[in-house]
Amino acid sequence: MLENSFYIIHTPGAFGNFLAYIFDCYQQKKVLPSPFVSGGASHNREKSTESFDMVLPDRVKFFEQNCYGKKVIGCVWDEEYFNYILHAYLSRTNGGQYGDCGVKFLENNFYDWALRHENVESVKENIVNIKNFFKYNIEETNKVVPRYILRQYFWFQIFYKDNHKVTKVNNKIKSMLDIDLINITDILDYKKLQSFLKKYFNFVLNFKEIHKQFIDLNVSLRDYLKYKNIIEACKNNQPISIEDLSVVGEASVFYDLEKHYFDIPFFTSKEFPKNTVEILDYVKYFPDIMKQPNKLYHQHFRRFPPNVVL
């Protein structure tokens, strides 16, 4: 195996393993065998370039002890991608313990999802939080959380995204000195990613096909793009069906709808709409006398459009 002079640092879902795989390809001057597991993560690879998830304390410690003399590259993301990162963070299934997708697993069995996680104590905080927020007990004899409670719980995580550990780690990576940064939007763009690699290698490698697979197989990215498409359809008054959206995607839709319409509540709804027509009718016929901004928005008014009267 080649001695590597590059280290990649990232949060969960920020494509750190895929970028490390591409660096391996460039070092060996050929496209290596596909690194993808069934959920789309690039964990099935023979590592030369190391990638470090900076949310995990043991990986941070190893990185800090071994990073000297290496060129460090940080994969970072903008706030608009938090919902995608949240799905990827919950979905991570490095050991295959959740099958294709951790979010799909937790929708059906939140208790075992927490106990099977690689960082069990940290994830078990969710069980405590759900009990405190909703007075709902998750235990050995009650493993399944109703979907509408999960949806509301992840709605709160989106609302308080500035306090989430992935946001704090992402901001920390952005502020680090003497490292190169690449935004995940540039990793998603094949031409921009090729251009980025030119800074380190004086040849061009054609990895277009593997890059297409990287996008097509990513479960969290597919869910994120579905949710964004639903929001755009609502804003443009377009009727589309809503299918196969995760509970995180549902929370994202309700969050964006409530932010857009502002004085019409969505997050308390028990059932999720089957199409955008149901959403548009809900907005159209919502009684004026009941309209008022969510209480939480009053506490965070600076985050919302200046033309909104509070």
Number of H helices, E strands in the chain: 15, 4
- 115-170 confidence digits (pLDDT tens): 888 777 778 889 999 999 999 999 999 999 999 999 999 999 999 999 999 999 99
- 203-258 confidence digits (pLDDT tens): 999 999 999 999 999 999 999 999 999 999 999 999 999 999 999 999 999 999 98
Contact call for residues 10 and 75 (beta carbons, < 8 A):
yes
Q: Is 87 exposed, middle or buried (0-12, 13-18, 19+ CB in 10 A)?
A: buried
> Which residues, other chains included, contact 158 with Cβ-Cβ below 8 Å and sequence gap of 6+?
82, 83, 86, 251, 252, 255
The pairing of beta strand 50-53 with beta strand 6-10? parallel
Mean pLDDT value across the chain: 90
- pLDDT at position 93, please? 67
User: What element of type H or E holds 161?
Assistant: none
Question: How many whole angstroms separate alpha carbon 228 and alpha carbon 234?
Answer: 10
**What would the DSSP string read from start to end of 79-135?**
GGGHHHHHHHHHH--TTSTTTT-HHHHHHH-HHHHHHHSTTHHHHHHHHHHHHHHH-
- pLDDT at position 117, please? 81
Give backbone dihedrals phi and psi of 110, rounded to 5 degrees, phi first.
-70, -35
- 163-182 confidence digits (pLDDT tens): 999 999 999 999 998 899 99
- 12-71 confidence digits (pLDDT tens): 999 999 999 999 999 999 999 999 988 888 888 887 898 999 988 888 888 888 888 889
Question: How many whole angstroms separate alpha carbon 72 and alpha carbon 74?
Answer: 7
**Torsion, CA 196, CA 7, CA 122, CA 149, rounded to 10:** 20
Question: How many whole angstroms separate alpha carbon 202 and alpha carbon 47?
Answer: 22
Q: How many residues does the chain have?
A: 310
Q: In what order do the strands lie in the sheet with 71-76?
A: 50-53, 6-10, 71-76, 180-183
Question: How many whole angstroms separate alpha carbon 185 and alpha carbon 204?
Answer: 20
> Which residues, other chains included, contact 157 with Cβ-Cβ below 8 Å and sequence gap of 6+?
86, 164, 251
**Looking at the predicted structure, is the pLDDT value of residue 310 above 70?**
no
pTM of the model: 0.91
- pLDDT at position 2, please? 46
Question: How many whole angstroms separate alpha carbon 144 and alpha carbon 193?
Answer: 41
For the record, the structure tokens of 292 come out as 């008022």
For the record, the structure tokens of 183 come out as 């935004």
Contact call for residues 155 and 174 (beta carbons, < 8 A):
no
Residue predicted with more confidence, 17 or 270: 17
Question: How many whole angstroms separate alpha carbon 111 and alpha carbon 139?
Answer: 6
Contact call for residues 27 and 204 (beta carbons, < 8 A):
no
In the chain, domain spans = 6-79+166-218, 82-163, 220-300
> Which residues, other chains included, contact 222 with Cβ-Cβ below 8 Å and sequence gap of 6+?
none
Sign of the C-alpha dihedral computed for residues 231, 93, 271 and 268 taken in this order: negative
